[in-house]
Structure 1
Amino acid sequence: MTEPRRPIVEMPLRVRYHECDGQGIVFNAHYMAYVDMCAFEAEKALFGSHAEFLAHGTDVVVAEANLKYRAPARYDEELVVSQHLNHLGTTSMIFDFEIRRAGTLVLAANIRYVFIDPATLRPAAPPDAVRKVYAALLPEG
Protein backbone atom coordinates (compact mmCIF):
# COMPACT_ATOMS: atom_id res chain seq x y z
CA MET A 1 0.00 0.00 0.00
CA THR A 2 1.34 3.42 -0.96
CA GLU A 3 1.57 5.97 1.81
CA PRO A 4 0.00 9.36 1.12
CA ARG A 5 2.62 11.91 0.20
CA ARG A 6 3.51 14.42 2.84
CA PRO A 7 3.24 18.10 1.97
CA ILE A 8 6.31 20.32 2.02
CA VAL A 9 4.32 22.76 4.15
CA GLU A 10 0.79 23.22 5.44
CA MET A 11 0.04 26.91 5.81
CA PRO A 12 -3.00 27.92 7.84
CA LEU A 13 -4.78 31.17 7.03
CA ARG A 14 -8.00 32.93 7.89
CA VAL A 15 -10.03 34.56 5.13
CA ARG A 16 -10.07 38.34 5.56
CA TYR A 17 -13.15 40.44 4.82
CA HIS A 18 -11.55 42.42 1.99
CA GLU A 19 -10.73 39.17 0.12
CA CYS A 20 -14.43 38.47 -0.42
CA ASP A 21 -16.48 39.64 -3.39
CA GLY A 22 -20.05 40.89 -3.58
CA GLN A 23 -21.31 37.31 -3.38
CA GLY A 24 -19.63 36.93 0.01
CA ILE A 25 -17.05 34.40 -1.15
CA VAL A 26 -13.32 34.70 -1.69
CA PHE A 27 -12.66 36.47 -5.00
CA ASN A 28 -11.00 34.03 -7.40
CA ALA A 29 -7.68 35.93 -7.76
CA HIS A 30 -7.03 35.70 -4.03
CA TYR A 31 -6.65 31.93 -4.27
CA MET A 32 -3.54 32.46 -6.41
CA ALA A 33 -2.22 34.81 -3.73
CA TYR A 34 -2.80 32.08 -1.12
CA VAL A 35 -0.87 29.60 -3.29
CA ASP A 36 1.96 32.12 -3.72
CA MET A 37 2.13 32.69 0.05
CA CYS A 38 2.41 28.93 0.56
CA ALA A 39 5.19 28.69 -2.03
CA PHE A 40 7.25 31.22 -0.08
CA GLU A 41 6.61 29.32 3.16
CA ALA A 42 7.89 26.15 1.45
CA GLU A 43 10.96 28.01 0.21
CA LYS A 44 11.60 29.19 3.77
CA ALA A 45 11.21 25.64 5.10
CA LEU A 46 13.60 24.26 2.49
CA PHE A 47 16.25 26.99 2.31
CA GLY A 48 15.79 29.15 5.42
CA SER A 49 14.55 32.25 3.59
CA HIS A 50 13.94 33.67 0.14
CA ALA A 51 17.26 35.51 0.38
CA GLU A 52 19.08 32.24 1.14
CA PHE A 53 17.42 30.61 -1.87
CA LEU A 54 18.50 33.52 -4.10
CA ALA A 55 22.05 33.26 -2.72
CA HIS A 56 22.35 30.02 -4.73
CA GLY A 57 22.28 32.14 -7.89
CA THR A 58 18.86 31.09 -9.11
CA ASP A 59 15.26 32.20 -8.93
CA VAL A 60 11.89 30.93 -10.18
CA VAL A 61 8.99 32.45 -12.08
CA VAL A 62 5.48 31.12 -12.67
CA ALA A 63 5.16 29.85 -16.25
CA GLU A 64 1.75 28.18 -16.00
CA ALA A 65 -1.08 28.01 -13.47
CA ASN A 66 -4.15 25.79 -13.44
CA LEU A 67 -6.66 26.34 -10.64
CA LYS A 68 -9.73 24.19 -10.07
CA TYR A 69 -12.33 25.70 -7.78
CA ARG A 70 -14.17 22.98 -5.84
CA ALA A 71 -16.04 24.82 -3.07
CA PRO A 72 -16.44 28.44 -1.95
CA ALA A 73 -14.57 29.92 0.99
CA ARG A 74 -16.08 32.78 2.98
CA TYR A 75 -15.04 35.52 5.38
CA ASP A 76 -13.39 34.39 8.63
CA GLU A 77 -13.15 30.73 7.60
CA GLU A 78 -9.96 28.91 8.46
CA LEU A 79 -8.17 27.38 5.49
CA VAL A 80 -5.04 25.27 5.12
CA VAL A 81 -2.88 25.51 2.00
CA SER A 82 -0.57 22.56 1.30
CA GLN A 83 2.12 22.11 -1.33
CA HIS A 84 3.60 18.97 -2.93
CA LEU A 85 6.31 18.61 -5.56
CA ASN A 86 4.86 16.79 -8.55
CA HIS A 87 7.69 16.96 -11.14
CA LEU A 88 11.28 18.19 -11.33
CA GLY A 89 12.60 18.82 -14.84
CA THR A 90 15.81 20.30 -16.20
CA THR A 91 14.75 23.95 -15.88
CA SER A 92 11.27 23.71 -14.40
CA MET A 93 9.25 22.07 -11.66
CA ILE A 94 5.56 21.49 -11.06
CA PHE A 95 3.88 21.77 -7.69
CA ASP A 96 0.40 20.66 -6.66
CA PHE A 97 -1.36 22.83 -4.13
CA GLU A 98 -4.53 22.12 -2.17
CA ILE A 99 -6.61 24.55 -0.16
CA ARG A 100 -8.87 22.86 2.38
CA ARG A 101 -11.44 23.99 4.91
CA ALA A 102 -11.93 21.45 7.71
CA GLY A 103 -10.82 18.69 5.35
CA THR A 104 -13.07 19.79 2.46
CA LEU A 105 -11.18 20.54 -0.75
CA VAL A 106 -11.80 24.16 -1.71
CA LEU A 107 -9.21 24.48 -4.49
CA ALA A 108 -6.68 22.31 -6.31
CA ALA A 109 -3.89 24.06 -8.21
CA ASN A 110 -1.09 22.88 -10.44
CA ILE A 111 1.67 25.47 -10.94
CA ARG A 112 4.75 25.19 -13.19
CA TYR A 113 7.74 27.25 -12.13
CA VAL A 114 10.76 27.86 -14.35
CA PHE A 115 14.22 28.32 -12.87
CA ILE A 116 15.87 31.46 -14.19
CA ASP A 117 19.22 33.18 -14.07
CA PRO A 118 18.44 36.30 -11.99
CA ALA A 119 20.79 38.44 -14.09
CA THR A 120 19.32 37.58 -17.49
CA LEU A 121 15.82 36.41 -16.47
CA ARG A 122 16.28 33.54 -18.93
CA PRO A 123 15.57 29.88 -18.13
CA ALA A 124 18.58 28.13 -16.59
CA ALA A 125 19.10 24.85 -14.81
CA PRO A 126 19.30 25.30 -11.04
CA PRO A 127 22.58 24.69 -9.21
CA ASP A 128 23.11 21.11 -8.02
CA ALA A 129 22.55 22.10 -4.37
CA VAL A 130 19.08 23.45 -5.20
CA ARG A 131 18.22 20.49 -7.44
CA LYS A 132 19.21 18.10 -4.64
CA VAL A 133 16.82 19.77 -2.17
CA TYR A 134 13.90 19.50 -4.57
CA ALA A 135 14.79 16.01 -5.81
CA ALA A 136 14.57 14.73 -2.22
CA LEU A 137 10.87 15.74 -2.21
CA LEU A 138 9.87 13.59 -5.17
CA PRO A 139 7.84 10.51 -4.43
CA GLU A 140 9.88 7.35 -4.72
CA GLY A 141 9.16 4.83 -7.35
Structure 2
Amino acid sequence: MSQYIFELEMQVRDYECDMEGIVNNANYQHYLEHTRHEFLAAAGISFVEMRERGIDPVVNRIEINYKMPLRSRDHFVSKLYMRREGIKFVFYQDIYKVSGELCIKAVVETVCTTQGRITRGEEFVPYFERFLQQE
Protein backbone atom coordinates (compact mmCIF):
# COMPACT_ATOMS: atom_id res chain seq x y z
CA MET A 1 0.00 0.00 0.00
CA SER A 2 1.41 3.37 -0.96
CA GLN A 3 1.35 6.30 1.40
CA TYR A 4 1.18 9.95 0.54
CA ILE A 5 4.37 11.86 1.26
CA PHE A 6 3.07 15.36 0.62
CA GLU A 7 -0.26 17.17 0.86
CA LEU A 8 -1.29 20.67 -0.12
CA GLU A 9 -4.65 22.27 0.61
CA MET A 10 -6.08 24.71 -1.94
CA GLN A 11 -9.36 26.38 -2.86
CA VAL A 12 -11.06 26.62 -6.25
CA ARG A 13 -11.18 30.15 -7.62
CA ASP A 14 -14.19 31.34 -9.63
CA TYR A 15 -12.24 31.89 -12.85
CA GLU A 16 -11.08 28.25 -12.87
CA CYS A 17 -14.64 27.08 -13.57
CA ASP A 18 -16.32 26.62 -16.93
CA MET A 19 -19.86 27.54 -17.99
CA GLU A 20 -21.21 24.44 -16.23
CA GLY A 21 -19.88 25.76 -12.92
CA ILE A 22 -17.24 23.05 -12.49
CA VAL A 23 -13.45 23.28 -12.63
CA ASN A 24 -12.26 23.21 -16.22
CA ASN A 25 -10.33 20.01 -16.84
CA ALA A 26 -7.11 21.87 -17.78
CA ASN A 27 -6.98 23.52 -14.36
CA TYR A 28 -6.46 20.17 -12.67
CA GLN A 29 -3.06 20.04 -14.38
CA HIS A 30 -2.25 23.41 -12.81
CA TYR A 31 -3.19 22.03 -9.38
CA LEU A 32 -1.02 18.96 -9.94
CA GLU A 33 1.95 21.01 -11.12
CA HIS A 34 1.66 23.47 -8.26
CA THR A 35 1.64 20.54 -5.82
CA ARG A 36 4.82 19.08 -7.37
CA HIS A 37 6.56 22.48 -7.20
CA GLU A 38 5.60 22.89 -3.53
CA PHE A 39 6.79 19.34 -2.88
CA LEU A 40 10.17 20.20 -4.44
CA ALA A 41 10.49 23.18 -2.11
CA ALA A 42 9.61 21.00 0.89
CA ALA A 43 12.21 18.44 -0.29
CA GLY A 44 14.91 21.09 -0.18
CA ILE A 45 15.13 22.60 -3.65
CA SER A 46 12.85 24.85 -5.65
CA PHE A 47 11.97 24.47 -9.30
CA VAL A 48 13.76 27.80 -9.93
CA GLU A 49 16.94 26.58 -8.20
CA MET A 50 16.92 23.43 -10.32
CA ARG A 51 16.48 25.49 -13.45
CA GLU A 52 19.37 27.77 -12.46
CA ARG A 53 21.57 24.66 -12.12
CA GLY A 54 20.55 23.49 -15.59
CA ILE A 55 18.43 20.65 -14.20
CA ASP A 56 14.90 20.38 -15.53
CA PRO A 57 12.22 17.92 -14.46
CA VAL A 58 10.12 17.47 -17.59
CA VAL A 59 6.67 15.88 -17.78
CA ASN A 60 6.91 12.97 -20.16
CA ARG A 61 3.36 11.63 -19.79
CA ILE A 62 0.29 12.45 -17.73
CA GLU A 63 -2.88 10.47 -17.16
CA ILE A 64 -5.86 11.88 -15.27
CA ASN A 65 -8.98 9.98 -14.27
CA TYR A 66 -11.78 12.37 -13.33
CA LYS A 67 -14.01 11.01 -10.58
CA MET A 68 -15.99 13.94 -9.12
CA PRO A 69 -15.94 17.61 -10.12
CA LEU A 70 -14.76 20.47 -8.00
CA ARG A 71 -16.83 23.65 -7.97
CA SER A 72 -16.13 27.29 -7.18
CA ARG A 73 -14.97 27.90 -3.60
CA ASP A 74 -14.52 24.16 -2.88
CA HIS A 75 -11.60 23.41 -0.60
CA PHE A 76 -9.52 20.44 -1.64
CA VAL A 77 -6.32 18.59 -0.81
CA SER A 78 -3.81 17.58 -3.46
CA LYS A 79 -1.76 14.57 -2.34
CA LEU A 80 1.17 12.72 -3.86
CA TYR A 81 3.63 9.90 -3.52
CA MET A 82 6.36 8.91 -5.94
CA ARG A 83 8.36 6.02 -7.35
CA ARG A 84 11.39 5.69 -9.56
CA GLU A 85 10.77 3.53 -12.61
CA GLY A 86 13.91 3.26 -14.73
CA ILE A 87 14.91 6.80 -15.67
CA LYS A 88 11.47 8.15 -14.82
CA PHE A 89 10.29 9.63 -11.56
CA VAL A 90 6.58 8.87 -11.40
CA PHE A 91 4.28 10.99 -9.28
CA TYR A 92 0.99 9.44 -8.21
CA GLN A 93 -1.25 12.37 -7.42
CA ASP A 94 -4.80 12.41 -6.12
CA ILE A 95 -7.10 15.29 -5.34
CA TYR A 96 -9.77 15.02 -2.66
CA LYS A 97 -12.40 17.42 -1.44
CA VAL A 98 -11.65 18.24 2.20
CA SER A 99 -14.79 16.25 3.03
CA GLY A 100 -13.00 13.15 1.66
CA GLU A 101 -14.50 12.55 -1.78
CA LEU A 102 -11.97 11.57 -4.46
CA CYS A 103 -12.02 14.05 -7.37
CA ILE A 104 -9.15 12.86 -9.58
CA LYS A 105 -6.45 10.23 -9.73
CA ALA A 106 -3.40 11.13 -11.80
CA VAL A 107 -0.12 9.56 -12.81
CA VAL A 108 2.58 12.00 -13.90
CA GLU A 109 5.76 10.58 -15.42
CA THR A 110 8.76 12.89 -15.39
CA VAL A 111 12.28 12.64 -16.75
CA CYS A 112 15.33 14.72 -15.98
CA THR A 113 17.26 16.82 -18.43
CA THR A 114 20.53 18.49 -17.56
CA GLN A 115 21.84 21.24 -19.80
CA GLY A 116 19.13 20.21 -22.28
CA ARG A 117 20.05 16.52 -22.47
CA ILE A 118 18.03 13.67 -21.01
CA THR A 119 19.78 11.89 -18.13
CA ARG A 120 19.19 8.90 -15.88
CA GLY A 121 17.89 11.29 -13.23
CA GLU A 122 20.72 10.89 -10.74
CA GLU A 123 20.54 14.66 -10.14
CA PHE A 124 17.17 14.13 -8.42
CA VAL A 125 18.24 11.27 -6.14
CA PRO A 126 19.70 13.42 -3.31
CA TYR A 127 16.38 15.26 -3.05
CA PHE A 128 13.95 12.38 -3.66
CA GLU A 129 15.72 9.32 -2.23
CA ARG A 130 13.99 9.43 1.15
CA PHE A 131 10.56 9.77 -0.50
CA LEU A 132 10.75 7.04 -3.14
CA GLN A 133 8.38 4.15 -2.54
CA GLN A 134 8.95 0.60 -3.71
CA GLU A 135 6.33 -1.35 -5.61
Q: Give the alignment's TM-score, normalised by structure 2.
A: 0.88
1:91 match: 87
What whole-Å deviation, never above 9, does each CA across 1:51-77 have from its counterpart, x for those lacking one? Answer: 333455422110000000000110000
What whole-Å deviation, never above 9, does each CA across 1:81-134 have from its counterpart, x for those lacking one? Answer: 01110x2144321010010002110001000001001x22x2112345x31332
2:4 match: 6
Alignment: residue pair count: 134
Q: 1:136 aligned to 2:130? A: yes
Report matched runs for 1:1-141 at 5 Å. Answer: 5-7=3-5, 9-54=6-51, 57-85=54-82, 87-101=83-97, 102-117=99-114, 119-120=115-116, 122-127=117-122, 130-139=124-133
- Corresponding residue SS for 2:131: coil
Conserved 8 A contact 2:45-2:127: no
Q: Which runs of 5+ in 1 are unaligned?
A: none
Task: Give the fraction of aligned pairs with identical amino acids, expressed as a percent.
Answer: 25
What whole-Å deviation, never above 9, does each CA across 1:18-73 have from its counterpart, x for those lacking one? Answer: 00001100000000000000000000001242233345542211000000000011
CA–CA distance in 1 between the matches of 2:61 and 2:49? 25
Runs of 4+ in 1 over 3 A off after TM superposition: 51-57
Q: Which runs of 5+ in 2 are unaligned?
A: none
- Corresponding residue SS for 2:103: strand
CA–CA distance in 2 between the matches of 1:135 and 1:80? 24
Q: Give the alignment's TM-score, normalised by structure 1.
A: 0.84
